[in-house]
Structure 1
Amino acid sequence: MPPFAGPPLQKTQFCHPKRETPNIITLNVGGQIFQTSPQTLTLAGPNSLLCTLTTSSLGSIPFIDRDPDLFSILLTLLRTGTLPSRAKVLDPEDLIHEAQFYNIEHLLISAITDPSSFYPLNLQKTLILPINGRDSPSAIATHQDGSVLVSHGSKITAFDWSLRRKTSFLTEFPAIDSLLFLSPSVAAAGASDYSGVKILDINSGLGIKTLNWDNPIYSTVQAIGASPEFLFASFESCRKNSNLIQVFDRESFRPLIDLGHEEKQGVEIGSAIPATKLNWVSSQALLMASGSYSGPFGCVGSIKLWDIRSGSRVAEIKENEDCFADVTVNDGIWGLFKVGLVSGEVYMMDLRRLGSSERWVSLGEGCSKVMNGNGKREGVNSKIVGHGNSVFCSRGENVEVWSEVLMGGKEKEGVFRKNVMGRREKVGQSKITQLDFGGNRMVLARKDEQAIEVWQGSGTNFVNWGWN
């Protein structure tokens, strides 16, 4: 018997607003009777079988030859937007397959990986996902639906949003340094010693397109980034004497504009530093490009903000004293954040005052280590990422989360408080090398480990939902 039996459906009946609709819809699923409202079923979306039932049950009770217990879970999902507690005893794969049958998998994804359920102070390690081969992760990319891409050696491994299904494929890169989701099925990848940004089909592992800087000699990729409309790529010539940022249309991959074409002048270490990190500042429609150079006489760096519509640079911050080990931007709290290479301290600069004489403000103990001149580089290899209304900084084997706390008074003033995650973990863990966020998840990689860690909040839906 086919899964659905009942009066034949016409294509024109799909949620047709003019057709008479009953106040109560009665369904027979696997021999069990369910009743619900047409408004609930329409929440499944116009392409779902459930939506068609709002107009097909006049004068009869449609029969769906599926599991009634699984249908009951999905009906609760439609009614409330969340999964009931009884779903914890199910095999997630069964519920995923059932959601795919009714074409409401997008609702299941939203319930499990909803970014609004991300609470930084509740994060705990819930999964360790192994990757094949002997290479450690060199780059991580996450999607807003919670899916993850990991590059290791010349391979990329993709974990779907449920983190239960993974696929791996070879690329032409000897190693991958930059990795970015463009959609759930398309990624961009680049390498600092290999020419071109590769646009890849994640499902097949095949290349779709290669984006190059039209340079007389081949150019390598130092960083990639994206906004809802554009793809950005930082290129450097193989002779390391020139660089630029190229802006592409995100849909067609057509080149649109070049930013900051620089040529190296003489032996000055601060000239023509390529951008090695690209962040989109959505609140101001600006691109942040940062890069640094470390030599025998110290480290210098540059942070630039670009208006990509006009191609003009609107601000530049030159770094020399305690140059950044890493830098990020957080729209939610209007700040640029860096971790000092020498001090290891976290600093903030107000995004709204970049045109003035605004300076970095330490969020921690200040720059005493810099002033002491002990010669150590406390911040080396640290990563800093803004997500939600918090900033996360990897420090050795742990992650610090900096959150803004509003103080009382006539004019409420925000101060930042630090919490260290992972203190209860075993001593002697490897240092963190990669850090990223997607949906309600934090994903990280550690030195010399062939796996990635997934952290979720203890208050989110089904943190340990069948994955342990």
Structure 2
Amino acid sequence: MGFKGDRVRFNVGGTKFETTATTLASAGPDSFFGPLLDGNWNLRPFSDEEIFVDRNPACFSIFLDLLRTGELYIPKKVPEDLLYREALFYGLLDHVRAAKWGRFDGRTMMRLTSTVKSRGLEQGTMVRASDDGGFCVAHGSVVHVYDWMLREHPSIELNHQKVNDIGWADPKSVVVTAPKGMGLFDSSTGELKHQFTVDSQGYHVKGFNAGPLCFGSDQKIFSTCRLRDDENGIGVWDGETGKQVDFWHESDEPLGRAHRLQWLDQGSCLLAAIHARSNRNPYRHFPYNLCMLDTRDKKVAWSWLGSPDLTSRERVWDAVAMEDKSLIAVTDEYYEGLGFLDLRFPRSVRWGPRRSTGVNMTSEGCHPKVEYYQGQLLLSTDDYISVFQGADFIPKLRLQHGDGAFICDFSVGGDRIFTLHHRENRLDVWEAPRPPIL
């Protein structure tokens, strides 16, 4: 390896390159270049010969520029699939992905970059983004999985069981819940890796109705469970081993029928959002819309009940906690707008400006949904997404395709927004444009 100071020479596919240890160090210790450096990021002493790598030289040149400048420029003559394959070899996929598009920012005009038309026989019901910018979408009993390059992988088949919820345990694993249980699947092959079971009050239950999911610290997986009419609760599993580590039992209905779960790292507790009325008995009201479960004693540490009146503005449909602001953002079923509930003084919701959508969203199979991502709130209403920022959550950005197709679900991850449209069975991908290369 020819060293002069901290310089090193490569011969890639017959083309010679020269770079420095500083440039290679920016690739990280897990990259192809990591073993060339010691713990202090100095080049290890080897022979005076250059390093020969039997790979594509055009892609290697792009990677060196990326490591030097942090910017990605792909010449038209280089196919992107080839670049991604080579990036996988060098362990640089994360660097390429980070430079492929800009960071999500509600003050920056995001653009619609891709549209994925579903081949599913049934309409899409939900979409979930992964942390690396991939996504999966459920169509009836089938889950279609895409990586961050928007390449479709083998689908996950549930044998005619309709999907209740989906989520990413990690970039390589997808959890799916259904009326007869839940499983962990390989995101690349669609193969079942583990089927979860439940032990409740000393009884082993093979089949259970698994519902909404969330993922916590220490690779914990949470899901609502309805075992029998008089036995409901939330199961907790170890995401690495698949073994159950806890079960929060409640003889009444609310916990097992929560429609959304969220793990709160700072408080080490679980937020559950529950529709005010029982699905089985519309005249029966649950004791709370929102509650927090203390993981230490498995009890409801905090709860809030809005009005169960169907015409009331206090009837919460969706909710997301913002721990850094001690607030819970909520939506209701029929109005555009956001409401806020102060966790320190939980009395009533402080609603922002709202108006009736003028559309029966329930008949369209669409409801307002709220998400919190990197200090920004996102709200779906009708056919557009609003992005709110700042201490007062002022709307800064509105994302709308323009064809009037209602959004039945959306998800944000990896600095991308994915919107699933109801009747067209179409999924749109929104990205911030990457900074220009000067």
TM-score (norm 2): 0.84
Residue 394 of structure 1: how far off its partner (Å): 1.0
Q: Which residue, out of 262, 280, 283, partners 1:279?
A: 262
What residue in structure 2 maps to residue 236 of structure 1? 226
1:141 aligns with 2:128: yes
* Contact map agreement 2:232 2:255 (CA 8 A) in 1: yes
Query: Would you say 1:247 and 2:247 are equivalent positions?
Result: no
Instruction: Identify if the C-alpha distance between structure 1 residues 104 and 273 changes in structure 2 by more than 3 Å, giving closer, same or farther.
Output: closer
The one-letter amino acid paired with 1:172 is N
Alignment partner of 1:155 out of 139, 142, 159: 142
Deviations 1:341-366 (A, max 9, x none): 24443101233x0xx3443111224x
What CA RMSD, in Å, does the superposition of the two structures yield over aligned residues?
A: 3.1
- 1:326 paired with 2:318, answer yes
- The SS at the match of 1:305 is strand
Task: Report deviation, 1:26.
Answer: 1.9
2:40 alignment partner in structure 1: none
Tell me how far 1:389 sits from its aligned partner: 1.3
TM-aligned CA distance change 1:449 to 1:460, over 3 Å: farther
Contact 1:96 1:105 in 2 (8 A): yes
Ranges of 4+ aligned residues in structure 1 off by more than 6 Å? 376-380
1:339 is matched with 331
Secondary structure of residue in 2 paired with 1:120: coil
**Equivalences, count:** 413
Deviation, 1:302, is 1.8
1:94 maps to which residue?
Answer: 82
- Local SS of the residue matching 1:176: coil
On the 8 A contact 1:323/1:342 being kept in 2, the answer is: no
CA distance in structure 1 between the aligned counterparts of 2:294 and 2:215, rounded to whole angstroms: 14
Query: Paired residue for 1:119, among 73, 98, 105?
Result: 105
The change in CA–CA distance for 1:345 and 1:148 in structure 2 (over 3 A counts) is same
| 1:17 equivalent in structure 2 | none
CA distance in 2, matches of 1:340, 1:384: 10
Gap runs ≥5 in structure 2? 37-42
Shift of 1:22: 4.3
Give the equivalent residue in structure 2 for 1:190: 177
User: Which secondary structure state, in structure 1, belongs to the residue aligned with residue 60 of structure 2?
Assistant: helix
Give matches, 1:373-452, under 5 Å. 381-404=367-390, 414-419=391-396, 421-423=398-400, 425-427=401-403, 429-452=404-427
> Quick one: distance in 1 between partners of 2:301 and 2:187?
36
2:304 and 2:111 mapped to 1: Cα distance?
Answer: 36
- Which residue does 2:275 correspond to in 1? 292
Show the 5 A alignment for 1:352-363. Answer: 353=344, 356-363=345-352
Name the % identity: 20
- Does residue 212 of structure 1 match 2:197? yes
Offset from partner CA, 1:142-185 (integer Å, 9 cap, x none): 11111111111221111111113433232235211200101122
Summarize the Cα distance change of 1:447–1:460 in structure 2 as closer, same or farther, 3 Å threshold. farther
Name the SS of the counterpart of 2:270 in structure 1.
strand
Structure 1 gaps, min length 5: 1-5, 8-19, 265-270, 405-413, 463-468
Q: Specify the SS of the correspondent of 1:134.
A: coil
**Whole-angstrom CA distance in 1 between matches of 2:299 and 2:33:** 51
* Compared CA separation, residues 44 and 325, structure 1 to 2 (3 A): same
**What secondary structure, in the 3-state scheme, does the structure 2 residue paired with 1:283 have?**
coil
Measured in 1, the distance between the counterparts of 2:101 and 2:415 equals: 5
Tell me the amino acid that sits aligned with residue 26 of structure 2. L
Query: Aligned pair in 2 of structure 1 residues 144, 168: CA closer, same or farther (>3 Å)?
Result: same
SS at match of 2:251: strand
Give the SS at the match of 2:199: coil
1:66 aligns with 2:55: yes
> Structure 1 residues 64, 256: closer, same or farther in 2, change over 3 A?
closer
